[in-house]
A and B are shown apart, each in its own frame.
Chain A
Amino acid sequence: MTSFHGPATFAPNAATELQLLPLRFERLGANRFLVANFVGDLLLLNEEELDRTVSLAIAPGDGLYERAFEKLLVTRKKQRSQLQLLALRLRSRMSFLREPTPLHLFVVTLRCEHSCPYCQVSRRSAERDRFDMSEELALRAVNVALSAPTPRIKIEFQGGEPLLNFELVRKIVGAVHERAPARNKAVEFVIASNLALLSDEVLAFCQKNDILLSTSLDGPADLHNRNRPRPGGNSHELAVAGIRRAQKVLGRSRVGALMTTTEASLTRVEEIVDEYLRLDLDGIFLRPLSPYGFAIKTKQFERYDGAEWLAFYERGYFPEFYAALLLKRMLSDRPIGYVDLRSPAGIGLGALVYNYDGKVFASDEGRMLAEMGDRTFELGDLRKDDYRSLVLSDKLVGLIGNTLAQCAPQCSSCAYEPHCGAEPVYHHATQGDAVGIKPLSEFCARQKGVLQLLFEILDSGGEDAAVLRRWASG
């Protein structure tokens, strides 16, 4: 029998054959480095291992060569497969760019019967004529939305409280059903509502038109009602009743909720999660406050920092939608259409916002800023613009040019960049600059914190890692 060759026969010559592939790293602590390959696969190394990897002082059998090769950090110079894998994976991850503008927000009214001190959209309480969208503008917005190149669009009704202008919601849905088939568009609808005004009529309409409901639930009654005042002080009672009725009529998966973290929430994450469990909700979105509208005016935004929020977030161990989103990016190359976490940013290319007054914005936060007097992210007006003129406008092209995290200072060298995205509106609002200085950014601190937390759990293996993998596969 012919003899077999030993492993050494198949080992590369490190000096002449090996080559380093692009990598980025982040120091996690003393002698702990998180190393990321070009598409964000993560590997934990100590300092000596990192040094040996970058100087290619590695060889099969030492355990480090194996880890570096599996994570696409090194290749042999003649090999094609490592580069092909990186190329095709990057192409998958960026393929959301092939289907521009999947999300269309209709601000059908700015009025709301709630008076939340953290309201980020600066809601109004009166003047229907001034703060409701007109039918004429709404129909123009439908045409703009249906002109987006992507075959699937989502239309989300926002406010204020959109149910205060339900008649217009009805008309928009009717117009979309009429016009979408000719353009070969599949359209999904969501109403973002506090559910206080949820009537049988609204529910029947949602059921008939397959409309999802997205609501706000900040936790147990005392916390929720404190965060979300309304006449009668019964916001929680109405939200809970609304969720239950919607679950019954539309189905359990057709209604979701998200919470907004205030200073009062920080110590109560377990109770908040329990409230979601009690209501048989699929998961939770633990959302920090954003620096817009009343949240700034009433100083709610500055009551806690990134670290305090992270400490709160870490304890919220329940299918959490933001974590699920990040995990999908860490564990797969599926292009994630989430418009707030893209590079280039989702402004215009991910979403367009049609404001009650006919102005069109590049993002929801952009219109929140406009209510504060800053019109940086206003792209045009429904009275004169169409999809092309909005998306190809010099203004949007200029804004997007500043949102490539791949080459932005401090992002380009960040290990987490492949799983993150640009946040131009946030950085414009907080630092007066769309790129921003990342070490001063709470957004950046939160992103790094959450991503590290998720990595550490995944890397520890065991049951917790399996649970997180399950979140990502949903």
Chain B
Amino acid sequence: MTPLALAGAAIAVSGATPSERRMVLRVRDPRSVAEIDDRDGALIRDEEDLLAARARRFKTAVFLEGVSLPDDADGFEVTVRLGERFDHLGDGDIVGLDPGSLRLRVLYRRASKHNSFLVTERCSHYCLMCSQPPRNVKDGWIIDEIASCIDLLDPATDSVGFTGGEPLLEWRRFIALLAVFRGRLPETAVHVLTNGRAFAAEEVTAAWAALGFQRLTAGIPLYSAVDAVHDYVVQARDAFDDTVLGILRLKDKGQRVEVRVVLHAVTAPRLRETSAWLALNLPFVNHVALMGLENTGFALANQALLWIDPLDYQADLACGVDMLRAAGVNVSIYNLPLCLLDRSVWDFAVQSISDWKNGYLSECDGCAARRRCAGFFSSGRPRLSRGISPIAAADLQRTLSGHGVVVGDAGS
């Protein structure tokens, strides 16, 4: 299990203007592309690609390692050479590249359903299990970079996420970015992962609502119904108060809100109470996701504090889902394989792990439920439950018929 490479360094870049700190580059299949933008680069895997790129007068060529043709750079203003880790790139994908340092990040993969833009690495929280540890750096340029590639995105993109850090730290710039996005991709669903605290201010919620974006959802983590527990998990005092107020303000303005509860040894012991509290106090949110832990980033550093075998909260999770479902709340289970879940809640388990960091174990080879199972994170250092075991075909059939589940329906 290894995740796809979405960040790294180019082997070489030549021809790019040195004044350009970062360039946005959309890779294209030179053999099939119709129109060429200045920011397009032909992706060259073989001689045929090279001939096509020259014929179509591409100014930029992106060579994948292993492709070495005589005088291959001839005729291109800019050439970029990438290692074979980036072999997954395809037509329409977008990368941000710093020609000076050769650092690059894949910003968008056209064929993926899990595109997510990192808006900033700065955050007002410092969560014990953060998978993307925040850094206090000047990275305001990232919003500009995203803005500059919005018109290169495929308008047919079904959904896109924005994440951080905390995207709403510079809320005026970020909401302006969403307005540009909406103008270009009005049909695309947008999910913003935010700690929600900014929405405690009426001004921010009003600006957000004024976007008039039907398919815009704020995904807001709330780890406990107890202020001290939530504040401890996010390492910030008063976070609970701001976040709950923010959720209430968003719902008051008719905005879509998802509540995300990450389950680990600090939060899981009160999962029943948290679910009951959500069912009573926030039944009007659009979605509740009860989520398994991604063992990466700070979660690794705090492993001793956070690790709990999901098998040990299996019954509480089933009960929590039942309470939320009975209250009419749209609830899903994220990031947990089916073999660790009570059969009664399989219907609520979603294949939630982003494609680029989703993997399966050798045990999964003989499992009948693999095709509809969330599987595992390939990122970080996966820690495995003692309950992992393949599900037999007969067992799967019995469970499905027992609960009237249609195979392939991920619930929610």
Contacts and interface: CB of A to CB of B under 8 A. Distances in A.
Contact of A66 (B226, B237, B283, B326): B226
Contacts of B248: 81, 84-85, 88
A236 B4 CA distance: 72
Contact of B225 (A69, A79, A332): A69
A24 interface: no
A296 interface: no
A209 interface: no
A131 interface: no
Interface of A: 1-2, 4-7, 9-12, 41, 60, 65-67, 69-70, 72, 76, 78-81, 84-85, 88-89, 331-333, 461, 466, 469-470, 472-473
Contact of B226 (A4, A9, A70): A70
Nearest to B228: A60
A80 B245 contact: yes
Given A69-B225, A81-B241, A466-B319, 13 more contacts: A1-B301, A4-B126, A9-B232, A10-B227, A11-B228, A12-B228, A70-B273, A70-B274, A78-B241, A79-B241, A85-B244, A332-B327, A333-B280
B130 to A, nearest CB: 11
What 6 A-B pairs come out closest when comparing CB atoms? A469-B326, A60-B228, A81-B244, A10-B231, A70-B225, A473-B326
B412 interface: no
Contacts of B128: 4
Nearest to A12: B228
B245 A65 contact: no
A357 B32 CA distance: 85
Interface of B: 126, 128, 225-229, 231-232, 235, 237-238, 240-241, 244-245, 248, 270, 272-274, 276-277, 279-281, 283, 301-302, 319, 322-323, 325-328
B327 A331 contact: yes
Contacts of B126: 2, 4
Nearest to A72: B281
Given A81-B245, A470-B326, A473-B326, A76 B227 contact: yes
A12 B325 CA distance: 33
A148 B238 CA distance: 46
A469 B322 contact: yes
B314 to A, nearest CB: 15
Contacts of A470: 326
Given A70-B226, A81-B248, A4 B302 contact: yes
Contacts of B241: 76, 78-81
Contacts of A67: 273
A1 B133 CA distance: 10
Chain A CB within 10 Å — which of B241, B274, B302 has the most?
Answer: B241
20 contacts: A1-B301, A4-B126, A7-B228, A10-B232, A60-B226, A65-B228, A66-B229, A69-B226, A69-B227, A79-B227, A79-B241, A80-B245, A84-B244, A84-B245, A85-B281, A331-B280, A331-B326, A332-B283, A461-B319, A470-B326
A467 to B, nearest CB: 10
A88 B325 CA distance: 22
Given A10-B237, A65-B226, A466 B327 contact: no
A461 B316 CA distance: 11
Contacts of A10: 227-228, 231-232, 237
A200 B59 CA distance: 83
A345 B146 CA distance: 58
Contacts of A79: 227, 238, 241
Contacts of A81: 240-241, 244-245, 248
Contacts of B281: 72, 85, 89
Given A85-B244, A85-B281, A461-B319, A472 B301 contact: no
A102 B281 CA distance: 27
Contacts of A66: 226, 229, 270, 273
B196 to A, nearest CB: 11
A6 B266 CA distance: 12
Contacts of B244: 81, 84-85
A78 B270 CA distance: 25
Nearest to A6: B232
Nearest to B249: A84
A311 to B, nearest CB: 28
B132 to A, nearest CB: 14
B227 A5 contact: no
Contacts of A2: 126
B335 to A, nearest CB: 23
Chain A CB within 10 Å — which of B273, B281, B328 has the most?
Answer: B281
Chain A CB within 10 Å — which of B225, B232, B323 has the most?
Answer: B232
Contacts of B240: 81
A65 B228 CA distance: 9
B33 to A, nearest CB: 45
Nearest to B318: A466
Nearest to A70: B225
A332 B248 CA distance: 17
B134 to A, nearest CB: 10
A11 B240 CA distance: 12
A472 B240 CA distance: 29
A79 B228 CA distance: 12
Nearest to A87: B248
A84 B241 CA distance: 10
A466 B225 CA distance: 21
A328 to B, nearest CB: 10
A72 B276 CA distance: 13
A78 B242 CA distance: 11
B280 A5 contact: no
A327 to B, nearest CB: 10
Contacts of B302: 4
A5 B235 contact: yes
Nearest to B272: A461
A41 B276 CA distance: 10
B272 to A, nearest CB: 8
A473 B328 contact: yes
Contacts of B270: 66, 70
A89 B283 CA distance: 11
A16 to B, nearest CB: 15
A79 B248 CA distance: 14
Nearest to B323: A469
A338 to B, nearest CB: 19
Contacts of A331: 279-280, 326-327
A1 B225 CA distance: 29
Nearest to A88: B248
Nearest to B315: A461
A227 B126 CA distance: 70
Nearest to B344: A466
Contacts of B272: 461
B273 A4 contact: no
Contacts of B235: 4-5
A79 B241 CA distance: 6
B223 to A, nearest CB: 12
Contacts of A89: 280-281
Contacts of B277: 70
Contacts of A84: 244-245, 248
